Every structure is written in C-alpha cells, then in structure tokens.
Amino acid sequence: MLKQKGHEVNLILGSRSDIKLSHISSSDLIAISTTTSTVIEAYHLADFARSQGKKVIMGGAHVSFMAEEALEHCDYVCRGEADLTFTDLVACIERDELPWAVPGVSFKTAEGVVHNPRPDWVDINQVPFPDFSLLSSLKMSTYPVMTSRGCPFDCTFCSVTSMFGRKYRYRETESILEELQQYKGKQVFFIDDNFAANPRHTKELLKEMIARKTLPSWWCAQVRTDAARDDELLALMRDSNCGTVFVGMESVNPQTLKTYNKKQGVADIEYCIKRFHEYGIMLHGMFVFGSDDDTAETIDDTLEFALRNRIDSVQFMILTPLPGSRTFKELEEQGRILTRDWNLYDAHHVVFQPRLMSAYELQVKSMEAFKKFYSFPNIFGNLFLTGIRSAAFRALGFWMIRKWLRDNRWFYIYLNSLSAPVQTLGWKSRISKSIETFQLRKLKYFATEKLIHIEISQQEETFVLNLKGYLNDFSLGETFKTLYNNVPGMYQNFLINIEEVSFASEKVLIRFIEKLNNLAQRARQVEIKTALSRESISVVLKKYDLKLPSFNIN
C-alpha cells in the first residue's frame, strides 16, 4: 500500500543478523512487525534504529496487547489490524504531526501515553494481496495466502479472537483466484486460522479452483475437526491437491477440552483422523499440554493416542500464556507466571506453574513425548498410508527435537532452580587468566609478553567478562576459547567490559564484533561496555557494510 502511494519500500524477513547498517541508514522510517516469542529481538532492532536517529513503528499481536512496553523501544505502536490506518500514520509522520486522529495508534506525548481507540474490523476485500517481489532476497518454497480473518470460536489459550475478532470475514472468491493465479504449480499455505469456518464459502472457492485449473501443486491449511464431517468438502480438498491439514486437536483429556472451551470431544478427533486419511490427506495434529486438568499421565495417553491413530506429524505444545489470551490474564492474576522472558514464549518452554505437575515435570514429559513420537522406528510408520511426504516430515521431526534438546539443556537447570535454587556445580565462581605470547630475544632466550588479562565472574544471572590489554588475532581467539571453556550453557546474560582494551587493527575489531554476534546467537543477552562510542562502531559497520550487531552497546 505504501508502494502504491509512491514510497520506496524494502521488506526484510528475519532478525538483526539479516540487516545491514546501510538498510537502516538509507531509510527514512523503520516499521517492525513481531510476535511474542520474537519481540525481544524486535526491541533490539528498534533500539538500534532509534540510536541512528530513525523513527520506528511497531505492530503485530504482542505489541497490540503490550503497547506501553513497546513504546519504551519505538515511537508508535499500531494496535490490532492496521491495514487501512498504517498509511495515514505514515502521512502524519511525513507532515511531522502527532497521529491524534489515526485509530489504533499508541504514542507518547509530554502529558503521557495516548491510546487512540482501536479501528473497526477491516473489510479484507479492500486490502491488496501481498507483493512478494518486495522480499527480493527471500526464496520461497511455499506461498502464504489469506482467504479469511477472525474465528467464531474462542479457545481460552488463543489470542486470535482478541486480535482479529470472532466475526468471520472472508474475501471474495474472485479476488482469491486472482492471487492464486500466480502460484499455479507451486506450493501454497492458506494461513487462515480456520480455513473451513464457513464451509459454503470454502467449497465455492475449491470448486472454482478446480474448474479454472488454478491449482497449486500442493496446499495445506488449518482446520477444526468438524471439517471432516463434510464429505463434499473432503472430496474437494483432495481434488484440489490438498496435501496436509493442521488440526487443533489440543487434548485427549475430555476435561481439558472443556477447560480450553474447544467444543469438541475425543471421538471427534478420532473420526477426523480416520476421514482425512481415507481421502489420502495427511494430518498434523497440534496438542497443548499443561492445563489445570492435565497430569503426567495425560501426556503419556496423548502420545499413545497419536501413535495408535497414526497421526502423520504432531506438535506437542506447552500451554503458553500469550498476551491477549484469557489464559494470560488468569495466570497473571493467580501469580503463576514464572518469567516474562518473551523469548521463551514459543510453546516449547514452560513459563508458568502448572497445577497438577511441577514446571520441570511438564517440560520433561512434553519433550519425551516429542522424542518418542519422532523416534527412528516411527519415521516410516505411515509410508504406505499417506506416502513419502509423511516419512519426510517425521524424519525432519527426528532431527529437530534432538537438536532442540541439545540446545536447551540449560533450560532444565533453570527450571530446577526455580523450585530449589542451588549454586551451579562444576564451575568456578571467579576465573582469572592472562594470555601471553612468547618472543625470541637476542637469539638467546625466550621471554613472555602479556597480551590480555581476562577475569570472569558471575553476578546473579549475568556473567561479567573484564578484559584488559591488547587484542590481536591470537589473543582474540584465546579469549573466546577461555570463555566457552569456562562458562556453563550459552543461554546466559553476558556483560563484556572492553574499556581498557586496544585493538591491533580495524580488522581485529571486525572479527571481535563477529565473535560477539556468534555469542549473542547462543546467549539470552550480550552487552559490551566500551570506551568506543556507538558512533565509532557504526562507522566500522557502515564502512565494511556489516550486519547490525546482535549485542547491545552500553
């Protein structure tokens, strides 16, 4: 829409590690969309952009419900649906005016924070479909297409209805077909929260796709179990090349289904699996563990159910109190939320205190269920039922869960510490080391020359690394080797003091920045305390067209 109004627009999908300083410096305005589990990274990006003198707008589900938190990092927040208000906000910024009359916008004034009333629900037929040519650097294998917004249901753990409403709005069939025309022979994901919420409209679309031969080579969508009770719909899905459906099964505990306000039973789930398989369509079953009615046995029962009913692939998600959901409000009021480290709000880390299990038990049992489902003997379990794609998904799951377990060993220690705080064993409380180099003097004897002195200490949840001396290629490598060999698990907070460090060359400074970026990919937060100004580091980033730092400059 900005492009249609004559603006130059560049879209980047990713994080700071995908963005160069030139992307920021060459832009007049930065706009960032984020979910809850990516918002910390989004805040870092917003902070950096503002440090370069740029105005920043943020939008998306998380900041819609946490606007005042977001305004600590940006200039404006677009709450809710901003399709038809975003360009008005940009026009106000161009005129250097505050957006008093733009619905859904939050911003700060001298008198305090202003929250304009949310806009009306958008008529999505007024919204142009995405122009993916703006994502010039992104190679897409599957193209997202939206046919509707809103969900008539109201599951307690879901923030969709708070964000998009319970009124189900769908696009005109002709508009969808026009968008699909460019994806003939390609893979498509219909990204609706419930693709078949209006079966009549969905069947009309599928009939026209078939009649006009506007068919993807393969497509998938999210549906509820009730979609399996419509034989005509199932046949149309199969004939239009539907390969997989993502079904919110949620639980095999009847009481949990009631708690979640799911309005379906275990028999409905079993029937759904059976019917989609009869039509040759794969199922990805999504379950949520951790309700107030779940026990460890519930998780065991769910795993047994998934294997017995031959679900092709599963997500055993952990109940996550997302801002905007009733679950978040209830658990916050009950004082059961353990952390607001939004990085952990990805449905695979326990961030609240369950009622009938410990947080540690819920975490361990959920990941054990994942590992058992995606075990090597199960990879080819559905090969002769739904084909090689099912085996490929299970093989991917086999690799992903084991990688997750390796990368998240630290989290099990963290959960244990919440109930029984203990000093981490096996690590020194303070490390002091000097890195020296040997030099041959007067062809007679060796002498040592101190290059860098390292001190590592732990202050609460932060590891403090004090460096004094001279960094060249050798001492730089030895410094980070010392760090990795002496600090437990990389998901930690780091403060690295280089106020008394000199660099052998600009190239060594660049390599130091790269090593900090690598550390920041594995750590919760990395801050450096430096005598160098933020501007001098920016000069180096710009000179060599480097990507934005993943660490913070104190």
Average pLDDT estimate for 250-278: 88
The size of the chain, in residues, is 554
Least confident of 4-18, 147-161, 246-260, 517-531: 147-161
Q: What pLDDT is attached to residue 551?
A: 84
CA 4 to the chain's CA centroid: 30
C-alpha to C-alpha distance for 386 and 82, rounded to whole angstroms? 40
> Who's near 332: CB < 8 A, 6+ residues apart?
321
* Residue-by-residue DSSP string for 43-108: HHHHHHHHHTT-EEEEESHHHHH-HHHHTTT-SEEE-S--TTTHHHHHHHHHTT---TTSTTEEEE
* Residue 399 pLDDT > 80: yes
- Ranges of beta strands (E only) in 176-216 are 187-190
Report the half-sphere exposure of 205 (CA within 13 A, side-chain side). Answer: 25
How confident is the model over 108-128, as pLDDT tens digits? Answer: 999 999 999 998 889 999 999
Q: Please tell me which residue, 75 or 23, carries the higher pLDDT value.
A: 75
How confident is the model over 449-493, as pLDDT tens digits? Answer: 568 888 888 877 788 899 998 888 888 988 888 888 877 665 678
Question: Can you give 415-428 as a three-state secondary structure string?
Answer: HHHHHCCCCCCCCC
Q: What pLDDT is attached to residue 523?
A: 81
Average pLDDT estimate for 223-237: 95
C-alpha to C-alpha distance for 81 and 123, rounded to whole angstroms? 10
Radius of gyration of the chain (CA): 27
Q: What pLDDT is attached to residue 437?
A: 55
For the whole model, what pTM was predicted? 0.87
Query: Residues of the chain with pLDDT > 90: what percent?
Result: 55
Query: Residues of the chain with pLDDT > 70: what percent?
Result: 93
Q: How confident is the model at residue 247 (pLDDT cuts 50, 70, 90)?
A: very high
* Residue 438 pLDDT > 70: no
Number of continuous H segments (helices) and E segments (strands) in the chain: 20, 19
Q: What pLDDT is attached to residue 251?
A: 86
Q: What pLDDT is attached to residue 181?
A: 94
Two tokens, residue 359: 């947080």
Q: Supply angle C-alpha 164, 165, 170, rounded to 5.
A: 75
Q: How confident is the model at residue 427 (pLDDT cuts 50, 70, 90)?
A: very low
How confident is the model over 285-329, as pLDDT tens digits? Answer: 999 999 999 999 999 999 999 999 999 999 999 999 999 888 999
Neighbours of 511 (CB within 10 A): 18
Q: What pLDDT is attached to residue 132?
A: 87
C-alpha to C-alpha distance for 497 and 511, rounded to whole angstroms? 17
C-alpha to C-alpha distance for 318 and 334, rounded to whole angstroms? 19
Least confident of 317-331, 368-382, 433-447: 433-447
Residue found under tokens 């479909």: 129
> Who's near 318: CB < 8 A, 6+ residues apart?
288, 289, 290, 347, 348, 349, 350, 362, 363, 366
Q: Are 483 and 456 in contact (CB under 8 A)?
A: yes
Average pLDDT estimate for 258-279: 89
How confident is the model over 150-208, as pLDDT tens digits? Answer: 877 777 777 777 778 778 888 999 999 999 999 999 999 999 989 998 999 999 999 99
Bridge pairing between strands 282-289 and 242-250:
parallel
Q: Supply angle C-alpha 115, 120, 121, rounded to 5.
A: 120
